[in-house]
Structure 1
Amino acid sequence: MVYKFRVILDAEEDVFRDIAILEEDTLEDLHNAIVNAFGFDGLEVASFYTCDDDWTQDEEIPLFDTGDTPGEMKTMSDYTLRTTLTEEDNKIIYVYDFLNMFTFFVELAAIEEVEAGVTYPDLLFSHGETPAGSQDLAFSAEGADDDLYGEFDDDYDEEDLDMFSDDSFEDLGLDDSHNWN
């Protein structure tokens, strides 16, 4: 079967994509389809969140295992669409790039038969332009002078490095046997 989703970006302007993907694909596959459909570079962290009919966020399903014990936490690749979304539980929230917090409302619109000759996932429809993302950000303060960034140039020479001698550790009450790890 094919799951057809409407993926709506939570933004001022109407921006959404309709995506068709196979039911045995994973949430990671859906993540990749969304990233491609909206033109992101795919280098940012993302998570899905289960939710109710009112879009109230519940359980997080991350892209990567961030638990204390490796393998303990389930990730997007552990969930198939068939076991995660149904005609009754047909909504999920997707957040891409936790710096910019691109939030998407993902709703299962239809479950249909596979069409012969179609490669899935398939972008069915695209409306609106994705706002500028993290790949377009310029990290500078408003009115900042570009010459100010030169103050961080590495211009230390041997004399300057003497400030890190063993004597400086003794001045701090530390000896060279202190374990910094």
Structure 2
Amino acid sequence: MVYKFRVILDAEEDIFRDIAILEEDTLEDLHNAIVNAFGFDGLEPGSFYTCDDDWVQDEEIPLFDTGDTPGEQKTMADYTLNTILTEEETKIIYVYDFLNMWTFFVELAAVEEPESGVAYPDLLFAHGEMPASSQDHAFGAEEEQDDLYGEFDDDYDDEDLDMFNDEGFEDSSFDDHNWN
């Protein structure tokens, strides 16, 4: 069978590619198809992430084994598409180039019979031009978490902080040591 994917770049503009690939191909093959479809040079690593229907990221599947023990961590080459994605489990996240964090939403759109004479993977459709740089991702706190210290509000004020002034350390023998 042939899996047909829509691969959407996480960007303000609509930028996506439709890719057809054989169900027995690996996630590494899909990685290569995405890299080629979006015009990357392929010199940077990437990872797929399993996710739920709301695109909440779960397990990482890297291009290379980055585990402490060689061979312990499964990589993209270890997973065929039909073991990760089905007509019920249709979504996966792909991140390319961890310095620029090109992020893609990959969704299985159809499962069809292969067409004779077509070489897979196959770029079916391309929409939108790649921006010069990736979308800025906010990795800070959510709005409700902006005040990190709010939960620690107390009754201390500047006068209370006087107990931590230098006077308490003047007689300390630490002043005579060279700490460099």
Q: Smaller-chain TM-score range?
A: 0.7 to 0.9
Normalising by the residue count of structure 1, what TM-score does the alignment of the two structures yield?
A: 0.73
Match for 1:77: what amino acid? A
- What is aligned with 2:69? 69
1:45 Cα shift? Answer: 1.2
Identity over aligned pairs, percent:
87
What secondary structure sits across from 2:89 in the alignment? coil
Q: Which residue is equivalent to 1:93?
A: 93
Distance in structure 1 (CA, Å) of the matches to 2:43 and 2:133: 11
Aligned-residue offset at 1:133: 4.8
1:128 alignment counterpart: 128
How far apart are the structure 2 equivalents of 1:51 and 1:105?
Answer: 10
Residue of structure 2 equivalent to 1:153: none
Q: Within 5 A, what are the aligned runs for 1:6-155?
A: 6-133=6-133
- CA distance in 1: counterparts of 2:130 and 2:33, whole angstroms: 15
Give the gaps of 5 or more residues in structure 1: 135-181
RMSD over aligned CA atoms reads 0.9
Which amino acid is 2:32 matched to?
N
SS at match of 1:36: helix
Deviation at 1:69, TM superposition (A): 0.3
Distance 1:101 1:56 in 2: 17
Structure 2: segments with no counterpart, 5+ residues: 135-180
CA drift of 1:132 comes to 2.0
What SS does the aligned partner of 1:34 have?
helix
Q: What is the distance in 1 between the residues matched to 2:80 and 2:42?
A: 20
Output the CA distance in 2 between the equivalents of 1:97 and 1:6: 20
Structure 1 residue ranges, 4+ long, deviating more than 4 angstroms after superposition: none
Q: 1:117-142, CA deviations, whole angstroms, 9 ceiling, x for partnerless residues? A: 000000000000112259xxxxxxxx
Secondary structure at 1:55's aligned position in 2? coil
The residue matched to 2:29 in structure 1 has which SS? helix
For 1:117 and 1:56, how far apart are their aligned partners in 2?
Answer: 38
User: How many Å separate the matches in 2 of 1:64 and 1:83?
Assistant: 19
